[in-house]
C-alpha cells in the first residue's frame, strides 16, 4: 500500500464532524492523499474526497482518563505502522500518538485545538484533571509545525499559556451557500402552521443549557422546542420532559448527517445555543451550531458569552441571555416566539455574518499552511 501524504486522527466519527470533513476536502483539493483514523460504525461509507481513505477503529469502552488512555494506546499502535509526510492530530487526545509517529518517520506535525482542552466543562472543580490535560498539551504542542484553533479568545489564551505564537484561527463556519427549507421539522413533528419551531441541534449533554431550556418551556406559549441530536443526557432529559408533562411542548429527533443538515435546520423558526458559563472553553467558544443556524437563515437565541454574543449583537441576528436566569430566558424565548417582525429582521441580517466569518477565507489559510508543509516534507 502506498504511504499517504497525511495521517489524520480524530477521537470521534469523522463522517459526522463538519470541521474535519471541511479540512479533509481542502486536503483533497490540494491533491494530498490522506489516511483517516476515526471511530464510528464499521460500515462502508463514501470517501469524503479523492485520495482519502477511512480506517475505522473500534471505540474503546469506558470514560474519563481510563478511556483516553485506551484511545492513546489504540492510536499509537495504529499510527506507528503508517509512514507519512504529515501527521494531523484533530484533537488533544490523538496528539501524543501523532507526535510520536511524526518523530519516528521525520514527518511534520499539525494540531487542531478545537477546544480549550484543559478548561472543558469536565475539568471544572477538578484541578488535578485540568493540570493533567494542560501538561499533556504543553508537552507536545511545541513540536507542532502548525496549530489551528476555533476562536480568537482560545488562540490568545493558548499563546499566553504556552508562550507560543497564536494559533491560526479557523472558525467553525460552513462554506457559504444559499439554503432552502426542506420543511422536514414541521413534517416530522406535525406542528401546526402557527406553531413557532425552536431548534436546539447537536449534543445533549451537561453545560449546554438543555435542562434549563426544557424547564423554561413550561412558561412559553405558542412554540414547540425540538432537540435534534444525541448525547449522554438525552434519555434522562426525555424522562424529565415526560414526567413534567411537557411532551406537547418538547420533542426529540435523531441527528442527521452533516451534508443533509442545513435544509433541515432551515425548516425551524429559531435556532438556540445556550452554553453555560461553567468553564473557559464555553466562555471562549464559537460553536458550529451558531453558524449553521445563521447559514440556514434563522434568528438565534444564544448565551451571553463574549465570543458568541459578539457575533449575535454586532450583526443584530437575535437575542442573548444568561441561561441560568430563568425569568430572562423565558422572556427571551417568548419574545422570539411572539415578535414575528423581529425574527424576520434578525434573519435578514444573517448573511452579513459571513462577510466576516468565512470558510472560503479560512480554507485558504488552511491550504496555504498545508502546501508549505508538504513542500518542506520529504516523502516517507
Tell me the helices (H) and strands (E) count for the chain, helix number first. 15, 13
Are residues 326 and 365 located together in one domain of the fold?
no
Are residues 97 and 196 located together in one domain of the fold?
no
Determine the pLDDT at residue 1: 59
Is 123 contained in some domain?
Answer: yes
Question: Domain of 209?
Answer: 184-356
Are residues 239 and 141 located together in one domain of the fold?
no
Are residues 238 and 371 located together in one domain of the fold?
no
Is 143 contained in some domain?
Answer: yes
Is 1 contained in some domain?
Answer: no
CB of 24 within 8 A of CB of 14? yes
Distances in whole angstroms, Cα of residue 298 to Cα of each of 6, 14, 190, 193, 313: 37, 26, 20, 17, 15
Are residues 28 and 66 located together in one domain of the fold?
yes
Are residues 160 and 283 located together in one domain of the fold?
no
CATH number of the domain that residue 102 is part of = 3.40.50.2000
Are residues 152 and 26 located together in one domain of the fold?
yes
Are residues 33 and 162 located together in one domain of the fold?
yes
Determine the pLDDT at residue 41: 82
CB of 253 within 8 A of CB of 99? no
Are residues 330 and 366 located together in one domain of the fold?
no
* Residue 209 grid cell: 443549557
Are residues 296 and 204 located together in one domain of the fold?
yes
Please give the angle made by the CA atoms of 255, 259 and 261, to the nearest 5 degrees.
Answer: 45
Determine the pLDDT at residue 43: 66
Determine the pLDDT at residue 349: 96
Pick from 281, 283, 326, 318: nearest CA to 302: 318
Determine the pLDDT at residue 68: 87
Is 178 contained in some domain?
Answer: no
**Rg (alpha carbons) of the chain, rounded to whole number:** 21
Is 246 contained in some domain?
Answer: yes
Non-local (6+) Cβ contacts of 282 within 8 A are 121, 207, 275, 276, 303, 305
Are residues 69 and 149 located together in one domain of the fold?
yes
Number of domains in the chain: 2
CB of 5 within 8 A of CB of 33? yes
Query: How far apart are the C-alpha atoms of 361 and 350, rounded to whole Å?
Result: 18
Is 328 contained in some domain?
Answer: yes
Is 86 contained in some domain?
Answer: yes
Query: Could you list the pLDDT tens digit for every one of the 380 residues in the chain?
Result: 578 999 999 998 998 888 999 999 999 999 999 999 999 887 666 677 789 999 999 999 887 778 889 999 999 999 999 999 999 999 999 999 999 999 999 999 999 999 999 999 888 888 898 999 999 999 999 999 999 999 999 999 999 999 999 999 999 998 888 999 999 999 999 999 999 999 999 999 989 999 999 999 999 999 999 999 999 999 999 999 999 999 999 999 999 988 899 999 999 999 999 999 999 999 999 999 999 999 999 999 999 999 999 999 999 999 999 999 999 999 999 999 999 999 999 999 999 999 999 999 999 999 999 999 999 876 66
Is 92 contained in some domain?
Answer: yes
Q: Give the pTM.
A: 0.90
Query: How far apart are the C-alpha atoms of 243 and 329, rounded to whole Å?
Result: 22
Are residues 116 and 188 located together in one domain of the fold?
no
Amino acid at each position: 500500500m502506498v504511504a499517504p501524504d497525511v495521517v489524520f486522527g480524530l477521537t470521534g466519527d469523522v463522517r459526522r464532524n463538519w470541521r474535519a470533513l471541511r479540512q479533509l476536502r481542502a486536503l483533497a483539493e490540494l491533491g494530498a492523499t490522506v489516511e483517516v483514523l476515526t471511530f464510528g460504525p464499521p460500515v462502508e461509507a463514501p470517501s469524503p474526497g479523492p485520495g482519502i481513505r477511512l480506517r475505522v477503529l473500534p471505540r474503546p469502552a469506558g470514560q474519563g482518563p481510563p478511556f483516553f488512555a485506551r484511545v492513546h494506546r489504540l492510536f499509537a499502535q495504529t499510527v506507528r505502522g503508517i509512514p507519512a509526510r504529515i501527521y494531523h492530530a484533530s484533537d488533544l487526545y490523538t496528539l501524543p500518538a501523532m507526535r510520536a509517529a511524526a518523530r519516528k518517520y521525520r514527518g511534520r506535525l499539525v494540531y487542531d485545538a478545537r477546544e480549550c482542552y484543559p478548561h472543558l466543562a469536565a475539568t471544572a472543580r477538578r484541578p488535578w484533571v485540568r493540570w493533567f490535560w494542560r501538561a499533556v498539551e504543553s508537552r507536545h504542542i511545541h513540536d507542532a509545525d502548525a496549530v489551528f484553533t476555533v476562536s480568537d479568545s482560545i488562540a490568545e489564551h493558548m499563546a499566553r499559556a504556552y508562550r507560543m505564537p497564536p494559533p491560526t484561527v479557523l472558525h467553525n463556519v460552513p462554506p457559504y451557500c444559499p439554503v432552502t427549507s426542506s420543511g422536514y421539522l414541521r413534517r416530522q413533528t406535525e406542528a401546526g402552521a402557527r406553531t413557532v419551531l425552536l431548534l436546539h441541534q447537536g449534543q445533549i449533554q451537561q453545560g449546554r443549557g438543555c435542562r434549563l431550556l426544557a424547564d423554561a418551556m413550561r412558561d412559553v406559549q405558542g412554540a414547540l422546542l425540538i432537540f435534534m441530536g444525541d448525547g449522554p443526557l438525552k434519555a434522562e432529559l426525555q424522562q424529565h420532559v415526560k414526567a413534567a408533562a411537557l411532551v406537547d411542548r418538547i420533542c426529540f429527533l435523531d441527528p442527521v448527517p452533516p451534508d443533509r443538515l442545513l435544509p433541515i435546520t432551515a425548516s425551524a423558526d429559531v435556532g438556540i445555543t445556550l452554553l453555560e458559563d461553567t468553564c473557559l472553553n464555553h466562555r471562549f467558544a464559537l460553536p458550529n451550531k451558531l453558524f449553521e443556524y445563521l447559514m440556514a437563515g434563522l434568528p438565534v437565541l444564544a448565551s451571553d458569552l463574549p465570543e458568541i454574543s459578539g457575533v449575535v449583537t454586532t450583526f443584530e441576528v437575535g437575542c442573548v441571555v444568561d441561561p441560568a436566569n430563568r425569568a430572562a430566558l423565558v422572556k427571551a424565548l417568548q419574545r422570539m416566539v411572539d415578535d414575528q417582525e423581529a425574527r424576520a429582521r434578525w434573519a435578514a441580517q444573517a448573511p452579513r455574518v459571513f462577510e466576516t466569518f468565512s470558510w472560503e477565507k479560512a480554507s485558504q489559510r488552511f491550504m496555504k499552511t498545508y502546501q508549505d508543509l508538504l513542500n518542506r516534507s520529504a516523502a516517507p
